Structure formats: C-alpha cells, structure tokens
Amino acid sequence: MNTNLPVCDRFPLLPITAGSFVYNILAMIKFIHFADLHLGMENYGKTDPNTGLNSRLFDFLHSFDQIIDFAIKNKVDYVFFAGDAYKNREPSPTYQRALAERIFRLSQNNIQTILLVGNHDTPYQPHKANTLDIFSALKVPNVQVVREPKIIIRQLADDNLQIACLPWLSRLQLLEGKTPTASAEKMEEFYREKLQNILKELIKKINKKNPSMLLFHGSIEGSTYGSERSVMLGQDIILPKNILKNSPFSYIACGHLHQFQEVLKNPPTIYSGSIERIDFGEEKEKKGFIYGEITDHKIKWDFMPLAVRPFVTIVAKIKNTDEPLVKLKKEIDKKKIKDAVVKVEIEGPGEKLSLIRESMIIDLLKDAFFIAGISKNSTDSQKITEGFSDTITHTSYHDWLKTYWTQKGIAKNKIEKLTQMIDELLEESR
C-alpha cells in the first residue's frame, strides 16, 4: 500500500425523512451517498421459476434501482458508494453483470461515480484484483474505483471539490510487507495508529478554502453495530471520533455498518446503512440512502427511505385460551404479512401447542413471501417442542444457531462473537 498519499413497481420510493441542514445560495453540488449493497446475500430467498436465480437478488437490485432512478431524475452531480458491493470477494458473473449494468446507467447519464473498496470487496492478497477493479480496467467513463487512500480533486465553476478517500485497509495492507514481531496487543495498537496517521495525512492535504468530503469504509468509535456484526469479516480497527470531530470536511460519508446513524454532527458523519434487510435483527430498521447538497462549505442532507422487503415476527402466547389456532390467527391478522419474510413464535402448554399443526400455520401464512421459521416453545419444559419445520430448510444458519444458544442460556454478546467466528471460518474456507 502506498502511504505517500496522492493528491420497480412493487415498492414505490417512500417520502424523505429530514436530516440536519444549513446552506447558502452559492453554487451547489448535489450528491448521493449509499453503501453496503451486498449483492449475493440470499437469506430467506427461493428460486425464481423464470430465471433460476435466488429471489432475494431481485430485492437488492430493486433497492439499487430506486437509488439510480432518483440520481438520474434529480440530476445529481455525484454518487458516492462507501463500499461492500457484494457479499463475498468472489461474486458470480451474474452478480457482476447486474452491478455493471447499473453503474453503466450512471455513467451514461454523466453522473460522477466514486466506488470505494470495502472489506467484502477486498481480496486476502493485496496485489489481487478486487471486485470493483473491472471498472478501472475498462476505463468506464465517469466512474472511479478507489482501493488506496487518496484525495480526488474535481474542478468546479469557482473552486475545487476535494474528495478524501479512505477505503477498507486490512492488517496485511497496514503491515506493508513487514512481519509482525510484537505481541498481539501491541500489534493492535500499531494498526490503530497506522490507520489514524493515514487519515491525518489526508486531512493535512485538504485546502480549507475549498469544499471537501471524506469517503470512509470502516468502524468509528461510538457507532452502533447492528445484526450485520455476524456478516462482517474480522475484528475491526476502530477509528477514534476525536480525529474526525471539527475536521475540515463538509461531510463524512461512511460505509460498513448496516444501521443508518449520525455519529457526529460537526462535521456530519453519517452511516447511510445497508439498502436492504439481511435478517430479523434489522426488522424494524429503515433502509435507504443519503441525498445531500453542498454549497460552499455548507451542507444539507436528508435520509431517503427505500421501499424494501418487510420482515415480520409474529409472537402468539396461547396459555390462556381454549382456541389456540384462533388466537394465533388473531396475532397474524394484526401484522402485514403480504410479500413479507415471516417467522412465527408460539408459546404455551404442550397440550395446546399440539393442537396447532404445521399445515394450519402454513395455510394462515399463505400471503407471505417466505416463511423463515416456525417455533413452538412449551411452557411446560421451556424447550422447543417441534423445532423448525421442514418448510424452512433454507433459513439462515444464524437464526438456527442463535435459537439454540439462546435456549442454552448463553449471553447475547457471546452469541454475537460465536456467530462472527463461524462466519470468518466459512469465509476462509471459500
């Protein structure tokens, strides 16, 4: 790594949610910031009969298309992608084609697109091509891939827009070919300091007279981890908040964490979040992207919710009823299950649970897109009496394991760590 830093009709787009803003009447730059596309995430999908592809692919592409349509309609100047285009480092040609078709649409509409390399895009060996390098190799107009820290200068009418880029940097990249010789604790300190020093060098090169942004993929101190913790690879090198606070950037566009959040107000430091739900840990999270306007050094930004596949959990307690199926139906009717990924949790005495057959539950859920799980928890023994049904053999292994470990009384933070370790082992075996 060079440390000498160079200068669809199914779901309509939802109304915007206002963010913080202040701006003046000088020349304006319009941009979109999004991240964590994760094409290839196939949890809770089924085979589409017309294409033979996993149906969840179309959910992620539908969200992506909403962003692109918005960019073209509103004639934005820039699209900033803050990393993680795919689920893994070796995406199928089908997924690569789907991404390329959409990036090409932006290119053809003269929208400057900056693609930052994330951890899911980064090969284990630094000299191998990453999943986005094809756009650089083909010299696609208006598209730039950033795999190393750098500052991109864009000429404007009156001044220059400076785009500082800090992609995901692995420990191997930070070592720059050297062999670690210190203890694990000392090495972690070394990695943190190295990452901070790289960012400090970027900041030094910023001309404070001109507007600037930072595009970053990684974790910032104080940010909130969501359920995506189980799909991120490796232990993160945390960037401290203080190094960003009151920095010269007009806006800091972050990727890597799937929950939309504002980490700092000055300057606005935003994780746009992922653009589609991955599992039930994100059931209640809004998914979307950021639309922003920079005028001089002033920023206006808004979180734009996307219409995404709903996830719905139905909990039915049937202890005090003589008609458990009727009680279950009432709970289902309270929820909007049409086209949703649904899981059902039923709790009650074993004799009443036995009156509700799987076929009855499936019939009540016929409008759902996918039945992710059906569990029956007997209050007699505090154990799952029937487990998951045969209809959910394609459910995420995360949910199976989390259910098992929860029943065993393992603490939540330990469950998250165990799930992360399994993900890392699976990723290394691919």
**From CA 117, how far away is CA 81, in angstroms rounded?**
9
Residue 161, H or E segment: strand 160-166
Local confidence band at 17 (pLDDT 50, 70, 90 cut-offs): very low
**From CA 222, how far away is CA 137, in angstroms rounded?**
37
Name every residue whose Cβ is closer than 8 Å to that of residue 209 and which is 6 or more positions away in sequence: 159
Query: What length is written for the chain?
Result: 430
- Considering the entire predicted model, what is its pTM? 0.80
Q: What pLDDT sits at residue 27? A: 67
Kindly state the average pLDDT of the residues 360-377. 93
Respond yes or no on whether the N-terminal peptide bond of residue 149 is cis (omega within 30° of 0): no
Helix, strand, or coil (residue 308):
coil
Kindly state the average pLDDT of the residues 103-132. 90
- What is the dihedral angle through the alpha carbons of 412, 417, 418, 421, rounded to the nearest 10 degrees? 160
pLDDT in tens, 275-313: 999 989 899 999 999 999 988 778 999 999 999 999 999
Kindly state the average pLDDT of the residues 105-115. 96
pLDDT in tens, 159-206: 688 999 999 988 888 887 777 777 878 888 888 999 999 999 999 999
Which domains are present in the chain?
Answer: 17-305 (3.60.21.10), 311-395 (no CATH), 400-430 (no CATH)
Q: What ranges in 145-224 are assigned the alpha helix state H? A: 171-175, 184-204
**From CA 35, how far away is CA 13, in angstroms rounded?**
18
Q: What pLDDT sits at residue 426? A: 55
CB atoms within 10 A of CB 71: 24
